[in-house]
Chains A and B, each alone.
Chain A
Amino acid sequence: MNYKTIMMKPLDHVAIALMDLPQGALIHVRCEEKVHEVELKQDIRFGHKFAVKPIGQGGEILKYGEVIGRAVADIATGEHVHVHNLEGIRGRGDKVESRV
């Protein structure tokens, strides 16, 4: 099965599904010269992201070679990366402890 995915930059932690991908699928994600072999831990829907390498809790998550947020839990290779385990860092008024 030829699974369609895209990984933008070599430093990225995530790749994007360009089709609905089933749990358990073994995917070869190519980015420039490097190929990541990933077994999907969940179904990944079209347009959603999965980890191509492990990310520790609190670690920055890269896509486009830039920071798109931080991991709120340990994320294993092949896991769905989305709002349940990635939080934005910017515009977070809810994180301001005391306001005048």
Chain B
Amino acid sequence: MNPEFNTNELLGYRRPDGKVGVRNHVLILPTITCATQAAKQITELVHGTVSFIHQHGCAQVGEDYDQTFRTYVGMGLNPNVYGVVVLGLGCETHQARSVAGEIAKSGKPVEVVSIQDHGGTLMTIAEGARVAARMVQDASAQRREPFDFSELIIGTECGGSDACSGLSANPAVGVVSDMVVDAGGTAILAETTELIGAEHLLAKRAVNEKVAKRVYEVIEQMESRAILMGVDIRTGNPSPGNIEGGLSSLEEKSLGASNKSGSRPLQEIIDYAQYPTQKGLVWMDTPGHDIEQLTGMVAGGAQVVLFTSGRGTPTGSPIAPVIKISTNTAMFEKMRDNMDLNAGTIIDGEETIQTAGKRIFEEIKEVSSGKLTKSEVLKQHDFGIWRIGPTF
């Protein structure tokens, strides 16, 4: 335990399952694309509710069905959510009732409203808004209470990388990752695609042979998807913006991206949208796509996300605050609307990687205790599921 900081200084909302949220949202959770518009209408009627738009939830099978189901349930289970109104159509493969049943096991308030049962859109909106309004008022009566880093899961992510990402913001997030782990918390490393070429460095840090073996397995699975498609992965990653910023190959991007993981041992590799079984540094197997990765980590229980960017991004989540960190000062100045912190100070020679890391760590404390991030203020409610099978 690092004696330099008092770890017991966060304020959050204790849930019936013992977990702690840093937000107190009522989530309107549409399990099917046909219910997303009604869900959006409810959020416009009822203050304190959030939702997301998506195109999934029907005609999905096998592992793809399971992954989407796990993602919906994980969004509801995230400790930042006080209660959930699950909104369904009625005939879809991802039944609202099954999703609600899994979330209800946590002891949180859960209600189901189905469009076919309630006789159409307007009645559904009315019923959904009615139950949501009651939940919001109950949620507002709950007070924040002290908790510490051992109950916090931090997601780490980089998007719109440039050549500075690997020099400034990513190593600074690596410092934070180590601080969170040393304080007894959990840090998620993800973006398997963007670790191709850096896997040997991570395998060396695995806690045991099994985890080290798994590192090579998930990398091989991701790489073989590109090989099977007969494409150069560089046509999609690094992206045109990465290349414009000076990154020439996926390996170069990966070596910079892996810096976010700091230096602590790798405890386990978890599936997309899976809640970690270990504390410390864990790796979630996700693609590099910013929103799909973000969604996987939030559905896996991350209460706060650190997101570094060199090109700039508006990304946010409906339920987890996303602290966005610029890798260079010029972009930070240009995109102040979206970027929360600047690590370009490292490039400018004004700050060391260590001091920038400590500054980000302080911001986590503030945000975990209630300070809003820019994407929350701007209502940037991004959501995207990593689909691993075709729709039928």
- Chains A and B form a bound pair: yes
Bound CA–CA A8/B256 (angstroms): 11
Cβ contacts A41-66/B at 8 Å (1 or 0 each): 00001111100000000000001101
With A66-B198, A81-B248, A87-B249 already in contact, the answer to whether A48 and B230 are too (CB < 8 A) is no
Q: Mark B175-207, 1 if CB is under 8 A from A, else 0.
A: 000000000000000000000111001000000
Contacts of B234 in A (CB 8 A): 83, 88, 91
B-chain residues with CB within 8 Å of residue A63 when the two chains form the complex = 252, 255
Choice from B167, B223, B227, B233 contacting A16 with Cβ under 8 Å:
B167
- Counted as pairs of residues, one from A and one from B, with CB atoms less than 8 Å apart, the total is 102
- In the complex, B245 has a CB within 8 A of chain A: yes
Q: Are A90 and B251 CB-contacts (below 8 A) given A18-B347, A47-B246, A96-B227? A: yes
Complex Cα gap A42–B201 (Å) = 34
Is the interface on chain A under 10, 10 to 19, 20 to 34, or 35 or more residues? 20 to 34
User: With the chains together, A49 CA to B246 CA distance in Å?
Assistant: 7
Is the CB–CB distance between A64 and B246 below 8 Å? no
Minimal beta-carbon separation of A87 from chain B (angstroms): 7
A67-B167 CB under 8 A given contacts A16-B246, A91-B227, A91-B234: no
Residue B26 CB within 8 A of the other chain: no
Determine the residue in chain B with the shortest Cβ distance to A94: B232
Closest Cβ–Cβ distance, residue B361 to chain A (whole Å): 24
- Pair B233/A93 contact, Cβ less than 8 Å: yes
| A36 contacts partner chain B, Cβ-Cβ < 8 Å | no
Interface residues of A in 63-92 (CB under 8 A from B): 63-64, 66-69, 81-83, 86-92
Distance in Å: Cβ of A4 to nearest Cβ of chain B: 8
Given A47-B162, A64-B166, A82-B248, A90-B197 contact (CB < 8 Å):
yes
B226, A93: Cβ atoms closer than 8 Å: yes
CB distance from A72 to the nearest CB of B (A): 11
A38 at the binding interface (Cβ < 8 Å): no
User: B163: which A residues are within 8 A, CB to CB?
Assistant: 16, 47-49
Contact B248 A93 (CB under 8 A): no
Query: Closest residue to A70 on the B side, CB-wise?
Result: B249
Task: State the CA gap A18–B197 with chains docked (Å).
Answer: 24
* A34 contacts the other chain (CB 8 A): no
Is B229 an interface residue, CB under 8 A from the partner? yes
State whether A93 and B228 are in contact (beta carbons under 8 Å apart), knowing that A66-B198, A67-B197 are contacts in the complex: yes
A interface footprint on B249-262 (CB within 8 Å = 1, 0 otherwise): 11110011000000
Question: CB of B1 within 8 A of chain A?
Answer: no
Contact present for A6 and B196 (CB under 8 Å): no
Residue contact A92 to B246, C-beta cutoff 8 Å: no
Tell me which residues from 162 to 177 in chain B have a Cβ below 8 Å from any Cβ of chain A: 162-164, 166-167
Contact between B251 and A89, CB atoms less than 8 A apart: yes
CB neighbours (8 Å) of B328 from chain A are 46-47
Q: Do A92 and B233 have beta carbons less than 8 Å apart?
A: yes
A42 CB, min distance to chain B CBs, angstroms: 13
A6 to B163, CA, bound (A): 11
CB distance from B380 to the nearest CB of A (A): 26
Is A68 within 8 A of B246, CB to CB? no
The closest CB in chain A to the CB of B251 belongs to A68
**In the complex with contacts A48-B163, A66-B198, A67-B197, A92-B232 CB distance below 8 A:** yes
Residues of B within 8 A of A87 (CB): 249
**Does B335 sit at the interface, judged by CB under 8 A?**
no
What residues of chain A lie closer than 8 Å to B164, measured between beta carbons?
Answer: 47
Can you give 8 contacting A-B residue pairs, CB < 8 Å? A16-B163, A49-B246, A67-B251, A83-B243, A86-B249, A90-B233, A90-B249, A92-B233
Known interface pairs A48-B163, A82-B248, A91-B250; 17 further A-B residue pairs with C-beta atoms within 8 A, sorted by A's residue number: A47-B246, A49-B163, A63-B252, A63-B255, A64-B255, A66-B251, A68-B249, A68-B252, A69-B248, A69-B249, A82-B246, A88-B233, A89-B249, A92-B227, A93-B228, A93-B233, A95-B232
Q: List the interface of chain B (C-beta within 8 A of A).
A: 162-164, 166-167, 196-198, 201, 223, 226-234, 237, 243, 245-246, 248-252, 255-256, 310, 328, 330, 347
Q: Which residues of A contact B (CB under 8 A)?
A: 6, 8, 16, 18, 45-49, 63-64, 66-69, 81-83, 86-96, 99
A-B interface, 7 closest residue pairs, ranked by CB to CB distance from nearest: A91-B233, A88-B249, A47-B246, A47-B163, A68-B252, A48-B246, A69-B249
